[in-house]
Amino acid sequence: MIARIALGVVVFSACVIATAALQGQSAIDVMALEDDGVGPMRLGRDFDEAERLAFRLARESAFSGMGCAGFAEIRYLGTLGEHPVAVMAMTGSDRIEAVEITLQQPTAAHTHEDCLRLRDRFAEPFLDRYGTFDASWQVNKPVSKETLARTGPVLIEARWFHSGSDCYISARFGEYGTR
């Protein structure tokens, strides 16, 4: 009888500890901005650990596999501020080397100035957390006009493609894949 009670206490205690650990894991906000990334996607984090967290926390939209240029990627969808976004972590090793948050909609802009206004609305959560843009520069390419701006650890990019009036907006942690 005493052995059964003791076993019950041990099992109950293990359940309480496991529940607390799982609640701590699920307390991670998949869209929480940090100095080294967002949610479970953090620079330097073990790729497999980030992948497990992403699939646990954003199971409806999580994806992992080979991406651009053959680098491993983890992706999921979320909302940042008022904007639908895709979050992606990339690596060529076992640790996350870059985290990119890409605006999903809207992506149309009739002018470069419209694209910059869209960038500024997208950038509001970053500017609120890290402060005003520290630096800004423009790169003119044959098919696009790219404006890059840095706030804290984040590079915000607006690429306007005049031929289709498309506007690609992203925020990137890490230097991996920068132009």
pLDDT digits (tens, 9 = 90+) for 46-70: 999 999 999 999 999 999 999 877 8
In a domain, 120, yes or no: yes
The pLDDT, as a whole number, for residue 164 is 81
The pLDDT, as a whole number, for residue 147 is 97
> Could you tell me the residue range of the domain that residue 37 belongs to?
33-173
What is the DSSP track for the chain?
-HHHHHHHHHHHHHHHHHHHHHHHHHTS-TT-EETTEETTEETTSBHHHHHHHHHHHSTTT-EEEE-GGG-EEEEEEEEETTEEEEEEEEESSSB--EEEEEE-S--B-SSHHHHHHHHHHHHHHHHHHH-S-SEEEEEE-SS-EEEEEEETTEEEEEEEETTTTEEEEEEEESSTT--
The pLDDT, as a whole number, for residue 69 is 76
Omega before 153 within 30 of 0, i.e. cis: no
The pLDDT, as a whole number, for residue 21 is 41
In a domain, 19, yes or no: no
The pLDDT, as a whole number, for residue 178 is 42
The pLDDT, as a whole number, for residue 2 is 64
- The total domain count for the chain is 1
In a domain, 9, yes or no: no
Q: Which residues contact 152 (CB under 8 A, 6 or more apart)?
A: 35, 126, 129, 130, 131, 134
Please identify every stretch of the chain with a pLDDT value under 50, giving residue numbers as ranges: 6-26, 177-179
In a domain, 27, yes or no: no
In a domain, 14, yes or no: no
Average pLDDT over the chain reads 85
In a domain, 135, yes or no: yes
In a domain, 10, yes or no: no
In a domain, 2, yes or no: no
